[in-house]
Every structure is written in C-alpha cells, then in structure tokens.
C-alpha cells in the first residue's frame, strides 16, 4: 500500500535548528479591550485563527510575562508575546520503510533515537529517505492519529549526528514544545569526541554563530557579535585520551552546527569532522603506527563524533516532566574503546 501525505512543514531556516518564531507587541495607550486572539490576528500578518488558538492551548501566549487564555482582553500598554511554529510550507512525504528506534510515543509526541546518515526532512537534494518519510510509514502502519500524516518538527539534528529528537503529532503539541525550545527550558546534552586536551575540566563557549563567509555550507563563530545569532555551549570533560577528549556539551541555544562550530573556534574540532577540519591528524605523533591508528579510527566512525544523548522537556499536554537518556552508538563506543587501549598500551 502506497500513499503520499501532502502536508505542511516548518520553514527550512538553516540559521537555527529550532523551528519557531517569536512576536512581541506592546498595546498602545488607545487600545480598547480586545480578546488576545483577535488582537494577535489583527497585528500579525498571515497568521490564521487556528494557529493563534493552538498557541493559546499550548500556553505560549503571554501577557506581561504570564500565560493567558485566548479570551483574555488586552488593555492599554499590555506586552503581548507569542511563540509560533514557522509559517508552514507544503511538502509531499511518501511513507518509507526505514528502521526507527522509538524511545517513547503517545497520542501527542514521539521521541526517536536517530541513526547516523538519516536526514531529518526533505530538502537540499534529499527528497526521500528522511526521518519524516520513516515517521510517515511508522504512523501509517501503527494506525497513529497524526494530523498531517508525518509529524511536526520543533528542532532537528545534523544528518551524521545521532541521538534523541522529539516530534509532535499535532499543531498544539508542536506549539507547546516550540515555546519550551524558545525559552531554553528544555534539557539537551550531547557527547562528543574532540581533538586535543582541555586545560580546565569544564567551561563555557560563547560567540555568535552565522553562515561562514568562506564556505556557505559551514557555520562560523563571530565573537564580536557582528553577524549571526547568539550561542552558548557549556562543556565538561568526561574522559581524557591525551590527544583527544570525550566531553559532554549542554546547549543553551540551538544554532545550526553549534557544537561543531564552537569546538572548532576554541581549537578542538570534533574527531573526523571533515567540514570543520577534524578529519586530519591534529594532535599526536608523526610515527607511522600512530597515523595508521588514526586511519583505523576514521574507518570505524566515518562521520563526526557527536551524539545527542539526553533530552528533557515538559509534555505539552499533560505537563509532566519527561527525561530521556540514550546509549552511545556502536561506532562511537568502538572508537572510544580503541583510544582507551591505545593510551594504556603507550603509557
């Protein structure tokens, strides 16, 4: 049985891995008492009543920093803010039988542990074989009720990054999750193997991230704030291997390639990250035995060493706090074990 789903997908904005937009409106002194849903419709272009209602249900309409229902009446000088999923664009998603590691699923959301090599959504030459194609098949085969047939994205991770992602099954859940990603109340922790050793056991990397002026595929760090968007990454050393280090990264923001760009910026590119210079020997010796060891490691994990290990958020419908922790993929564990043995043998 073959069936394509024609639906909508959030704007493919590559400047952020978070798929939402934020509006802030201050009511003027002549504002008459007006329901907040009507107020937003009057002030926001191309925003449907349904999107505003979903935002109200999800608790993402705020007046003076407090969540309000859609029947709240706006008065003069009220500060109204709202977080919405990006204006949708139409896409066609064909269900494809692609293996999925489903960690959690209910009527509103699904959490998956994404494998390496799986693009999240169609685009840029990847019009099939994506996570959304896999979800469309999964939902259809399991009789899941999903408004558009394939799910609603609120964040994404790189093709070759593994780990946890949450996808909404309806627009209300999508809006509720988007609001959490916007205020950075979600918990996201990554494990990465990077080149070099760190002086400190933990630290913070800050610096705007935007499109590189030298390579349009890569991102660059602009510490002076002249370009890009603010980004903050906290890191902590887990295990040291002299020439490379296993670290945990906690994100405050969710910029495209944030960990990869920040780590390159501080001189610690991800191990085997070709886009950011981590696919050559950056630390160690010139001995042929060492060069062969590195070559074997690169063959073991032919991608950058990054895994989205921990994901936590508040369920958009029940209000319950959910926390998920995933195992490192076998290619990362194998390379880490190789380094343990190498350091032990060569002490």
- Asked whether the beta carbons of 126 and 119 are under 8 A apart, the reply is yes
What is the C-alpha to C-alpha distance for residues 340 and 244, in angstroms, rounded to an integer?
A: 11
Say which of 158, 160, 273, 279 is annotated catalytic: 158
- Burial-class residue 135 by CB neighbours within 10 Å (0-12, 13-18, 19+): buried
Helices 171-182 and 49-57 pack at an angle, to 10 degrees, of: 60
Whether 158 sits among the annotated catalytic residues: the reply is: yes
- Asked whether the beta carbons of 166 and 111 are under 8 A apart, the reply is yes
- HEC profile of the chain: CCCCEEEEECCCCCCCCECEEEEEEECCCCCCCEEHHHHHHHHCCCCCHHHHHHHHHCCCEEECCEECCCCCEECCCCEEEEEEECCCEEEEECCCCCCCCEEEECCCEEEEEECCCCCCCCECCECCCCHHHHHHHHHHHCCCCCCCCCCEECECCCCCCEEEEEEECCHHHHHHHHHHHHCCCCEEEEEEEEECCCCCCEEEEECEEEECCCCCCCEEEECCCCCCECCEEEEEEEEECCCEEEEEEEECCCCCCHHHHHHHHCCCCECCCHHHCCCCCCCCCCCHHHHHHHHHHHHHCCCCCEEEEEEEEECCCCCCEEEEECCCCHHHHHHHHHHHHHHHHCC
Residue found under tokens 């994506």: 130
Residues catalogued as catalytic: 158
């Amino acid at each position: 049985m073959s069936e394509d789903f024609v639906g909508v997908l959030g704007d493919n904005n590559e400047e952020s891995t978070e798929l939402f937009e934020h509006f802030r409106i201050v009511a003027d002194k002549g504002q008459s008492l007006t329901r907040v849903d009507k107020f937003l419709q009057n002030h926001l272009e191309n925003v449907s009543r349904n999107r505003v209602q979903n935002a109200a249900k999800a608790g993402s309409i705020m007046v003076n920093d407090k969540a309000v229902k859609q029947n709240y009446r706006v008065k003069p000088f009220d500060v109204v803010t709202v977080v919405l999923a990006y204006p949708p664009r139409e896409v066609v998603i064909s269900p494809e039988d692609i293996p999925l590691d489903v960690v959690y699923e209910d009527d509103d959301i699904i959490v998956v542990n994404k494998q390496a090599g799986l693009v999240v959504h169609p685009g840029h030459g990847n019009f099939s074989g994506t996570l959304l194609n896999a979800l469309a098949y999964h939902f259809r085969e399991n009789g899941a009720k999903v408004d558009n047939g394939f799910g609603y994205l609120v964040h994404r991770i790189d093709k070759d990054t593994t780990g946890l992602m949450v996808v909404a099954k309806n627009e209300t859940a999508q809006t509720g999750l988007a609001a959490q990603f916007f205020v950075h109340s979600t918990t996201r922790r990554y494990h990465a193997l990077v080149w070099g050793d760190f002086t400190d056991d933990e630290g913070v990397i800050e610096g705007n991230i935007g499109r590189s002026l030298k390579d349009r595929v890569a991102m660059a760090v602009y510490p002076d704030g002249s370009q890009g968007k603010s980004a903050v990454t906290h890191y902590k050393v887990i295990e040291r291997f002299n020439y490379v280090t296993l670290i945990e990264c906690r994100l405050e923001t969710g910029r495209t390639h944030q960990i990869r760009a920040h780590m390159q910026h501080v001189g610690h590119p991800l191990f085997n990250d070709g886009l950011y210079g981590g696919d050559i020997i950056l630390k160690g010796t010139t001995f042929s035995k060492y060069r062969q060891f590195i070559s074997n490691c690169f063959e073991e994990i032919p991608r950058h060493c990054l895994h989205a290990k921990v994901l936590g958020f508040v369920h958009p419908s029940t209000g319950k706090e959910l926390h998920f922790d995933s195992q490192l993929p076998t290619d990362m564990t194998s390379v880490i074990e190789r380094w343990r043995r190498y350091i032990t043998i060569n002490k």
